[in-house]
Structures are given as C-alpha cells and as structure tokens.
Structure 1
Amino acid sequence: MEADGENMIITRKAATKIIICGEHFVVYGAPAIAFPTKITNEVRLSEERGPFPLGRKEGFEIRSGKRRATAGADGRAEGEEDLKNFLQLFWTLAKKRKAGTKLVAKFVNHGAVKGMGNSAAFATALARCLLKYSNRKMGEEELFNLVQEIEQRVHGGRASGIDARTVIAGRPQIFMKRFNPPKYEIADAELGLPNGTALIVIDTYKGSRQSTSETTAVFAEAHGIRAKPWELDDAGRTRLLEPYASVFKGMLAQLKPEGDAKKLGRHMDANQRLLASVSSKGIKEAVAIARDAGALGAKLTGGGGEGGAVIALAEKKKVGRIIAACKKAGFKAFAVL
C-alpha cells in the first residue's frame, strides 16, 4: 500500500477516553472513573528508504499535520517539543531496523479534543505499530508502563495513569493511585450511563489551549500544594480529597443502566464546583449553555483550563438541541457515549 510515496507498513488505532469524575484529584490518590469512547486516534507507520534529501537523517520521525519531530541514528532529537516526547518509543521498541531507512509515524486525529487522552491514545497506537514492526509481543501491564512513561513526559511528571490504563484496556475503569508503597489499583468496571441518556463532549477551544501540565500546576497552587503527589502527608491528602469522596460515591451509584440520571447530573454539577480553579471562562460558558439547553449536568473533563473540554449528560431526545446551542456559541460539540 502506497501513501504519499512511502511504503505503508502498519496502521493501528487506539480509543480515546473520557474521565467521568476524578480529574486532578486522582493525581493525589482519589479514585477516578473513566470510559473509553468511540473516537479513535490513529498512527500510520511507514518506511522511507535513502538516500535522504539534505537535512534529513536516517532514524525516526513523527508527523502530525505539518509538524515534525525527528531523531537521528545518533539519538539526537529535533523538532516540535510535544512530539519529541513520543520518540522514546522508537528507541525502546524499534532499535533494529533495516539499514538506510527511516521509520515514519503519522499521527491522525479523528475528532478527539483536549481532555480525551490524546497523548495516551497516540502513544498506545504507536507502541502497537512498533511491536508489530519488531515482531514482538507485550502484555498489557508492560505496555501500560511504556505508555505511562510517555505520559509522564507529556504531562510534566504528574500523569495519574488513568488515561493510559483506560485507553489500553478499552473498557470502563476505576482507578486509584497509591503511594506507600507506590502502586496502581485499577479494575475493570461494569458501568454505563442511565438508560435513555447520552454523553456530549463540548470543545471550548477558540485559539488557545493550556497544557495538562499547566493546569495540574494551577490546581496544586489553588489548593496550597507545594509537594509532589507522593510527598504529600496524610493530613494534607485527606484535607484535599475529602470533599470529592462523596461526589465519587454518588456518581458511582448512578453509573448503571437503571441509575437515576437526574441524581447523576447533580453529582456532575457538584464535581464541577470542586474544579473551579481549573475552569476557564470558556468552560464555564459551555457548562452554562449545556444546562440552559436541557443538560442534566455538566462538568469539565480532563485537564481543563483554557481550551479545555466539557462533558454534559442529557436525555437522548435533547442531544441535538444541546449540540446546536453549543455550536451557535462557537463550540464544537458531539456525542461520545
């Protein structure tokens, strides 16, 4: 198969995710709930053969639209800083390649927005491409560790692990991070939305986005946290997490087909109030628009901040109305569950 003059080798997709509850609090040890979505990110791995034009090297390259990051055979990386974070996967999984070739990974986003675990989905899809290319097999836990390492690079050392775990598993997850000793507690969860409801994602991007690493720092500062998550003492951890605990329990109880959609919506609203410090003007506007158009509840999802995403719970018959109201305000909106 040919693509842009290159020999296509492997294509892999990975589901994006939506955090239902637990944003930011999960970093410090609170439980979180995440669902995979029907929106995928794709990686297309191809092989370029030399001789290469001046300024291009043998080695590895990542392309995302017109943006590039390249690593030469000498290990030096050049290009876009965010894309350079993914190059480690090449060195780990594809050290042996054909002489005189460059492995090229094209990142293709199929509609996911900020807050949907894009970096975890791209890292997972790229790792699976490289495993196939190298004729290697890897268990889910080892793959998680690889993807989580990339997530830590992308998110400034504060990635909780919930994105990587949900994307790799492809199933709803309840996730908790422990610190003494450090470990992850993750479980597949038989969860779903109440009958007759849908979940809408609203993208508030209008030219500017804050990174997740920036919003995790904002959240920490707003709560007076100066220590790393694993350095926080028990009293400080309890003080931070206690207000969220009741929200989590309430949402967990209603995330089932026979759940009470109105109660779930109210818990989403309560969760949003706890995330005020990382809610931009756009997020607050989108939440208000969704509620005014008939949503049962709405809150940010993912890192939040400028250009962040919002989720809204709605009766299926009101989904079109809510999406139309968001689009009228200049926000992209679509159903994911």
Structure 2
Amino acid sequence: MNHLGYGFANGKIILMGEHSVVYGKPAIALPFKEVKIESYVSFTNSPITIDCLYYKGILEEADLVIEGIKKLVISVLEYLGKKPFGLHIRIDSKLPAQRGLGSSAAVSIAVVRSLFNLYNEILTDELLQYFSNIAEQIHHVNPSGIDSSTVVSNDAIFFQKDSEKTYIPLRVDGILVVADTGRMGKTKEAILEVKKLWKENPTIINPILDRLGELTNEVRSYLISNEVKRLGMALTEAHQLLKSINVSDEGLEKLVDAALASGALGAKLTGGGKGGCMIAVVESLEKAKAVAEALKENGASNTWFYHLKEVINES
C-alpha cells in the first residue's frame, strides 16, 4: 500500500454527435488536456470523508449531488476487499462542473485511479470503464460511454455505442476556441426532452438524428484531409440541427452568433446543451484571439484554445 493514492483525468470536448450518439449514431470526441481533475486519497481513523466542489464532510452523509461518487467509492472498495472506513478523499478540479466537458466522468476516473493507486492494485482499462460507468449511470440518463472513453484517452476518438471505438489522426490546420457560458448545462433535462420529442415525432426527429450522424462521418474525413472550412460549415449545420431539437438556449445562441460574426469558420454548442460550453473553429491563432475576445464581450466566462493538428514526425 501507498501512504497517498493519486489519480487524475482530463476533460473532453465533443466535436460532433452529442445527443445523436445516444440513438446509435457516431460521435467524435477530443481529450481536453488543458484542464484536469486530480484525486488524492489518504488513510484516517474515522469514517470516509470527502472534500470536493459540492460537498465537504462524511461521505455516508453526503446529499444526492454526489450520489454517484458515493456509490462508486463503495463499489471500488468492495471489489478491492477493503472496508468502507478510514479514508479521506480530496478532489481538486480545474475543470468547470456541469459544462459538457466531461467533469463527472473525469471525477470518476480520477477517484478510481487514486483508490487503486493507494492500495497498489493493478487497474485495467476494462475495470476503469466498468467503475466509471457506475457513477455515470447516476449522473446521466442512458450514458453513451463517450465521456469515460475520452477522458482516459490521448487521442481523438470516433465513437459509436456498442461498436469498437477508433482513433482519428488530427491533421487540420485550425484551432478550436472553447468558451464557457458560465452556466451549468442541463444534460439530463436536454436528454429527456430529446427523448420525448423522438417518441412523439419520430418521423421528424429521426431525419435530424440521421443527418447529425452523416455530418459526424463527414467531419471524420475533414480532420484527416485538412479541410478546415468544410469542418467549420459542418459544425454550424450541426448546431442548427441541435437547436431544432431544443438543446440550445439564448446564451449559447448569443455566443455562436458572436463567434461567427467575429470570423469563425463554424461554431456550435458542445455537450448536453441548455447552458455549458460552445466551440468555434478558426484558421489561425490570431483569429482565435479575436474570436475569444468577442466571446468574452458577449458573456463567456472563460475561453481556451485547442490546436487541431498533431505534431507529425515525418522521419
């Protein structure tokens, strides 16, 4: 055993396919390494305690807001054959919560890694995925699994539910500007609303979901063949489709419009919607700075840059 267990996880950006991925369509997600979550676990002589953004105190007495983490911790300890007693868990996050950037999955991954590290136990990818899904089932309605897959990855992922994920080489001369609305997204609400629309109007909603799937496949090729302008057009079309199924909101619309007006090639919400974050694609760092400034002037609480081209070793 170690005296201190440590685990971390990155965030994630859904480039294409949010919501439609729940209905079996493909999605593309990127690991968001600019922000991460870290978990530290140490031994104590008292009931399990936790110190995180939403709660500080005895884990057993925590309210529903961290119910997923509570169940996750107990499940991991049971698997490891350890009593649910005598631990303190501290979670440090630079990843804004409930913004569609994978914070709940990242917390789960970091906590699982820290517990296995504390007891010096081997953690396979399969086990990590299994345990993170325990919390995700509580945090989200019918989670696709894309969050958990992406926050443990170093590569862009092409993901389809119940299919094998594949990795995409990024060869686009472009930069994503990621902007935080400053408001928590309402993922559960958005998923349930889309489900309701789908059940009531399948002949209207199915073609929208189909087109989102088609756009995701197109974007996959644009990322490989360096077609940044077509990428931008696809992002904007996807946003309009997502807007048509009521997962955007006034704040997101304002930021998307501001990004396009300031020179972005395309822009869309990312994640569950109804708050949270949006992304815009531009051709250069200079334009990224201009778009970021426009986004902040229109209410964005924070922005980050994400370069869409890997360093390719030609030798």
| Length-normalised TM-score, structure 2 | 0.86
Residue 91 of structure 1: aligned partner: 74
Alpha-carbon separation, structure 2, partners of 1:70 and 1:27: 35
Alpha-carbon separation, structure 2, partners of 1:328 and 1:221: 35
Q: Say yes or no: does 1:185 pair with 2:163.
A: yes
Alpha-carbon separation, structure 2, partners of 1:244 and 1:225: 19
- C-alpha displacement at 1:298, in angstroms? 0.5
Change (3 A) 1:170 1:82: farther
Residue 103 of structure 2: aligned partner: 118
Query: Quick one: which of 222, 247, 250 aligns to 2:215?
Result: 247
Q: Contact 2:104–2:136 (CA<8 Å) still a contact in 1? A: yes
- C-alpha displacement at 1:238, in angstroms? 5.3
Alpha-carbon separation, structure 2, partners of 1:294 and 1:236: 33
- C-alpha displacement at 1:152, in angstroms? 1.1
Q: Contact 2:19–2:191 (CA<8 Å) still a contact in 1? A: yes
Change (3 A) 1:136 1:225: farther
Q: Contact 1:69–1:83 (CA<8 Å) still a contact in 2? A: no
Q: Contact 1:166–1:173 (CA<8 Å) still a contact in 2? A: yes
Residue 42 of structure 1: aligned partner: 38
Counting matched residue pairs gives 298
Residue 3 of structure 1: aligned partner: none
RMSD: 2.4
Alpha-carbon separation, structure 1, partners of 2:22 and 2:58: 31
Deviations 1:119-177 (A, max 9, x none): 1111001001111123321321221121112111111x321100011112332211111
Change (3 A) 1:285 1:40: same
Q: Say yes or no: does 1:134 pair with 2:119.
A: yes
- C-alpha displacement at 1:212, in angstroms? 1.3
Q: Contact 1:43–1:129 (CA<8 Å) still a contact in 2? A: yes
- C-alpha displacement at 1:98, in angstroms? 7.8
Superposed counterparts of 1:209-228, under 5 Å: 209-224=184-199
Change (3 A) 1:98 1:163: closer
Q: Contact 1:68–1:80 (CA<8 Å) still a contact in 2? A: no
Q: Contact 1:25–1:241 (CA<8 Å) still a contact in 2? A: yes
Moved more, 184-193 or 274-283: 184-193
Instruction: Name the SS of the counterpart of 1:125 in structure 2.
Output: helix
Deviations 1:282-308 (A, max 9, x none): 110110111111111110111011x22
Alpha-carbon separation, structure 2, partners of 1:204 and 1:268: 18
Change (3 A) 1:142 1:322: same
Residue 334 of structure 1: aligned partner: 304
Change (3 A) 1:264 1:154: same
Alpha-carbon separation, structure 1, partners of 2:170 and 2:256: 22
1:70 maps to amino acid: I
- C-alpha displacement at 1:245, in angstroms? 2.9
Residue 28 of structure 2: aligned partner: 33
Alpha-carbon separation, structure 2, partners of 1:78 and 1:223: 38
Residue 254 of structure 2: aligned partner: 285
Alpha-carbon separation, structure 2, partners of 1:78 and 1:163: 28
Instruction: Name the SS of the counterpart of 1:189 in structure 2.
Output: strand
Alpha-carbon separation, structure 2, partners of 1:185 and 1:66: 35
Alpha-carbon separation, structure 2, partners of 1:218 and 1:327: 29
Moved more, 143-152 or 17-26: 143-152
Alpha-carbon separation, structure 1, partners of 2:268 and 2:3: 41
1:40 maps to amino acid: K
Query: Quick one: which of 129, 132, 146 aligns to 2:131?
Result: 146
Instruction: Name the SS of the counterpart of 1:169 in structure 2.
Output: coil
Instruction: Name the SS of the counterpart of 1:138 in structure 2.
Output: coil
Residue 229 of structure 2: aligned partner: 262
Residue 53 of structure 1: aligned partner: none
Higher-helix-fraction structure: 2
Alpha-carbon separation, structure 2, partners of 1:172 and 1:45: 30
Alpha-carbon separation, structure 2, partners of 1:69 and 1:251: 45
1:262 maps to amino acid: K
| Length-normalised TM-score, structure 1 | 0.81
Residue 24 of structure 1: aligned partner: 19
Structure 1, unmatched stretches of 5+, are: 1-6, 51-57, 72-76, 178-183, 227-231
Alpha-carbon separation, structure 1, partners of 2:63 and 2:305: 31
Structure 2, unmatched stretches of 5+, are: 308-315
Q: Contact 1:202–1:310 (CA<8 Å) still a contact in 2? A: yes
Higher relative contact order (CA 8 A, sep 6+): 2
Alpha-carbon separation, structure 1, partners of 2:95 and 2:108: 17
2:147 maps to amino acid: D
Change (3 A) 1:161 1:225: farther
Q: Contact 1:12–1:43 (CA<8 Å) still a contact in 2? A: yes
User: % of aligned pairs identical?
Assistant: 29
Q: Contact 2:6–2:118 (CA<8 Å) still a contact in 1? A: no
Residue 263 of structure 2: aligned partner: 294
